[in-house]
Structure 1
């Protein structure tokens, strides 16, 4: 069933496990995410990043997810990841996304609050949940070179409290030492900072850059307050590694199916790490419409 993220993340926060947000990049990865969640009975947040609109459009994804989610009783939320532009967020909501991320983390604190609050007001009017980011999660961090300047980009607990209060966001992505993409060196998470942030805010906390962080570090982060973990790079690497082993005699459609199975295996490993296996029935969910009618008709946002 298609839902927003509110109930699943609040339940994860309450019971100290995390929901996975794997991002799709093609029809095989999208179907793999749904299949993996069905087989493991895991609520899942299927993501599409704005920068990947060239791989799949939000309209394509919304139709596919509506079809697959409608055939299962496992809760599925459809989420726009790293929405950096107002137009992309409106486009996703009109397409039928049930959750969006506004990433204004590169802006100054007050401007981030202003932009985020505007998105929250618009999205909440049609029962779409909103994630925002405070602090900045980098790309491919070189951990041996992290200094005081880099750590200044980490989320500050006091600012987190003010940010959540003034914006009304449903979840908050925090910067505590993870990175997008592949790591250079061993990741070091600031768990003490995470505990302080979790104590300062009531909304579920999100960890971006889950790939390559390591199972034990992820488990520790979940114990310290993380309720949602984003996964992308490890899924693409699993699919690529599997398809590279395919002999020339294997057809292209069959090659795609092998990649799909690799994504399922990788994702189900993370489900076990996050503690979300068999959590689909934790609470009753409200089924969302397959299309947000307030926006689908082209009404003003």
Structure 2
């Protein structure tokens, strides 16, 4: 207990955050080689899959470019500005870090649910779901605004009193855990694990375009959030990956921008200002009351 309550250097925690993020990326590349060999053994390796894998890393590069040039500074500045008005002064130690990770995971659930159920969020997050494959490279398939929305959702943790570095560290842990879930090589884990933790099986469901899998399993680390809030689905039927309306392209520019193109087109074609705003703020497939709602993922 003494170790849990010992004060932590936030500078050291920041270095640990970078170390974990960078080295996990290296490990992920190594695991991707294993997955490609596995595809070859099962005769599932194709030029389309290889092209899609390369597209995943190009979108990552574009995402990093936008984050570094524009959104990174906004992210850090917003956190430190809000921290001035923190309700509590929460000391950085391993206990508070663990608590922050659990809270960040809960925040991630609602952020993730928002990105699926509000068109302006889906425009960027749909990039991640547009691959018709499921391997660890898909975890690095990012949209243009994917570093914007987490700021807004995690600011309450800073306002509560968690040091911004602690919150950023917690976000990295949730994200790294999520990354590891993107694989077909791991089938179902023991039942107690599947009951509490998010697993590759649960996350495969999340990436499915099957009707029964749409908008399910938003969890980051703990699948209990989906069980609590009524969005859980078990993997039963074989998963069909990708969007309801596929992009049918391995062009990284198409993959990166298709969501905003589709959103812009839908807003432009929708008559009336109120309805145009409705397209932005409602779920994919939304139509005014006099029109039927159809899935558009």
- More helix by percentage: 2
On whether the aligned pair clears a TM of 0.5, the verdict is: no
Which has more radius of gyration? 2
Give TM class, smaller chain: under 0.3
Give the structure-2-normalised TM-score.
0.25
Q: Which has the higher strand share?
A: 1
